[in-house]
Structure 1
Amino acid sequence: MKISNGVNQILILNPPFILRHSLSLKWKLSLKIFWILLFVSVISLLVLYIFQVSSLTGENYLLKNQERKLTEIKKEKEILEINFSKANSLANIENYFQNQNFEKANQVKYIQILESSVVAK
């Protein structure tokens, strides 16, 4: 095909029909592969996202559970410390001595050592 435009002349060659058809077929095939890969990528990323959110939720639940147990153990520790200090009080020691058949001394006698009586050399 020849187009004449005054001074300039342009020669246009149309490619054969088979060549145009094969290019469009390759283009369509490439586009189809692109959409398939895009769809597979989106689905796989969505599955990965769901898995990660599920895992994160499970870990968060376990963390809260462990924090609750830690708080309970701290409260129990405080109670045990109070009970331990009560058990070691003087009143309980006196009860222990009474239960072990110790007798209270009526009169305490001290031994007096004179300063002049020092151990002999």
Structure 2
Amino acid sequence: MSYTLVLSPPISINFRLSLALRIFWTFVSILIISLLIFYVFQINTLTGENYLLTHREKKLAEIKKEAEILKIDFAKANSLVNIENYFQNRGFEKASEVKYIRILETSVAELSQ
């Protein structure tokens, strides 16, 4: 007959396995929770940037419309009819006859000292 002596280890194998699984699942849980928190912050940031982008696109469209209106107003203000009215209101008179000064070719201008 063969006799076998079996000693139980100080920490059982089941307890070691159980401890390892607890550590693993704790780590996985912490990782999942941290990733979810990171995801929430990313979505919040993305939503805020999307809102700002939409707001700025609307503002850009308004500014483009204003620029078109200003171009049209500028063209109207610089038309010849408005310029004539401006000169008449300021007291300018239309020249009836234009006289030019004739300089003879033989005359020379001289600087006196």
| TM-score relative to the length of structure 2 | 0.79
Q: Give the distance between the partners of 2:106 and 2:5, measured in 1 at CA.
A: 136
Q: Quick one: which of 79, 82, 101 aligns to 2:69?
A: 79
CA distance in 2, matches of 1:112, 1:56: 76
* Deviation for aligned residue 1:14: 7.2
Bigger share in strand: 1
1:101 corresponds, among 67, 71, 91, to 91
Note closer, same or farther for the CA distance 1:109–1:29 as it changes in structure 2 (3 Å cut).
closer
Structure showing greater Rg: 1
Secondary structure at 1:29's aligned position in 2?
helix
Q: Which residue in 1 is equivalent to 2:78?
A: 88
- Select which of 17, 29, 33 maps to 1:39: 29
Identity of aligned residues (%): 49
- 1:54 to 1:29, Cα distance in 2 relative to 1, 3 A: same
Give how far 1:111 is off: 4.2
Unpaired runs of at least 5, structure 2: 109-113
Give the Cα–Cα distance (whole angstroms) in 2 for the partners of residues 111 and 35 of structure 1: 104
How well do the aligned residues superpose, as a CA RMSD in angstroms?
Answer: 2.4
Task: Give secondary structure in 1 for the equivalent of 2:91.
Answer: coil
The answer to whether 1:68 aligns with 2:58 is yes
TM-score of the superposed pair, with normalisation by structure 1: 0.74
The structure 1 segments of at least 4 consecutive aligned residues displaced by more than 6 Å after TM superposition are: none
What is the aligned partner in structure 2 of residue 48 from structure 1?
38
Structure 1 gaps of 5+ residues are: 3-12
